[in-house]
Amino acid sequence: MAEPETHYYHHGRFKVVGGVIPDAITAYRTYGDSSKPCIVFPTCYGGRLDNSGLLGQSYLVGEGKALDPSKYFVVTFALFSNGESSSPSNTPAPYNGPYFPQVSYEDNIKAQHAVLTKKLGVKHIYCVVGFSMGGQQAYYWPTVFPDFVDKFVAICGSARTSPHNKWYDVRLNSKAILDWNISFLEGPKAALVASRDFDGGHYKSPPTIGIRAFGRVYSAWAYGQTWFREHQYLAQGTYPDLESWLREDWEGGFLSWDANDLLVLLETWRSGDISLLRDGGNYEAALSGIKAHGLIMPSKTDLYFPPEDSEFEVSHLKNSQLVVIDSVWGHIAGGDGNETDTNFIRDHIWKFLEQ
C-alpha cells in the first residue's frame, strides 16, 4: 500500500500547558474512506508519520493488518515536538529551540480533536489505538472527550507515568520502586543536557555527542532482560556485537532527531497522568470514570510499563480486558519488534474491534 501524503492543520494561536504556540501545526495522515468508522492512531516517542517499520505507523495500518483501511477510516497523528507537528526545531523565533513551551498529552488530544471535527468532519471515534506514548494518548482520549470515543487500545502504555500504583505498595511495602519510569527518563535527559555540545539548548549545530549518549542510555531499558539473555546482544544476528548494535541502532536512530524536540517530547511523557485532569490526583477514580471499552496490552517483559501496572488499571476500569504479550522483547514487543508479537497484537485488535 502506497503511503499517503502528510497533511498539516494550522490551529492558529494555540494555548498549551507551558504557554502558547503562535501558529500551532498538527501533522496527520488519513487512510481509507471517511464514511467508515474512524480509528485514531497517534505516534509514540521516537515515532514519525514518515517512518516505516520500528517506531513508525505502517506495521499496524494496511490491508490485512490490525487497522485495515478497507474497513476503517484511519487517522494517524504526529505528537507535538516530533519534528512534523509544531516542535522546537520547526517553530520560528521567539518560540524556537529551548524557548518552545512545554506541551501536555491533553494539549495534543485537543489539537487532534480539532483536526478530526473541524477539518475531517469526524463526529465520533470508534477506537483509539496507540503504542507507548501512543498508548498513553489512548487513555487520555476517553478521559478528555468521554462521549466521543467508543473503544481504546493501549499497547505497552499506561494511564500515568510513574509513580506506578499501589500494587508495589502492597507487594513490596515500599515506595522506593515507584519512580522507575520517571527515573529512567531522567537518565537519557541528563546524558543529553550535560553534554559539552548541548549548550543549554542553544546549539548552532546538532549536539551529536549528547544525542549519542542519549541513545545509549535509552537503549538499556528498551528491551527486556530476557531478550539480552536469549539473543546474546546480537539482535537475531543483525549485528556482530553489542557495540555495533548500540552505534547503529541507538546512536544512529536518534541522530536524525533534534535535541530540543527530544526533550520537550520527553517531558510530555514524564508528566502524563489522567487523574490530574478531573479527579484531583485520585488515580483509581480517574480509571473508574472511563466509559469507553478498553483493550490493555502490556508486554510481559516491559521495563517502562510493566504488566503489573496494567493489571492494576484493568481492575479499576469498568469495561476493559487485559491481554499480556508473552514476549522476551520488552517494550519494543509492542512497536513492531518482531513479526510474532505484531501478529499477536493484530489478532487481538481484530477480535476487539469486532466485538
* 275 tagged catalytic: no
Strand partners, 30: 75
Can you give the C-alpha Rg of the chain in angstroms?
A: 19
Instruction: Give CA separation, 132 vs 8, 30, 181, 237, 297, in Å.
Output: 23, 21, 12, 26, 10
Catalytic residue among 132, 158, 219, 327: 132
Amino acid at 119: K
DSSP 99-119: GSPP--HHHHHHHHHHIIIII
Query: Is 231 one of the annotated active-site residues of the chain?
Result: no
Q: Looking at 331, 336, 341, 348, which residue is catalytic?
A: 331
CA distance 260 to 251: 16
Q: Cell numbers 472527550 label which residue?
A: 145
Q: Catalytic residue at 162?
A: no
Ordered DSSP codes for 112-165: HHHIIIIIS----EEEEEEETHHHHHHHHHHHHSTTTEEEEEEES--SB-SS--
Which is nearest to 91 in space by CA: 205, 206, 210, 10?
Answer: 10
Give the C-alpha separation, 257 to 211, whole Å.
Answer: 8
Which one is catalytic: 107, 261, 302, 309?
A: 302
* Positions marked catalytic: 132, 302, 331
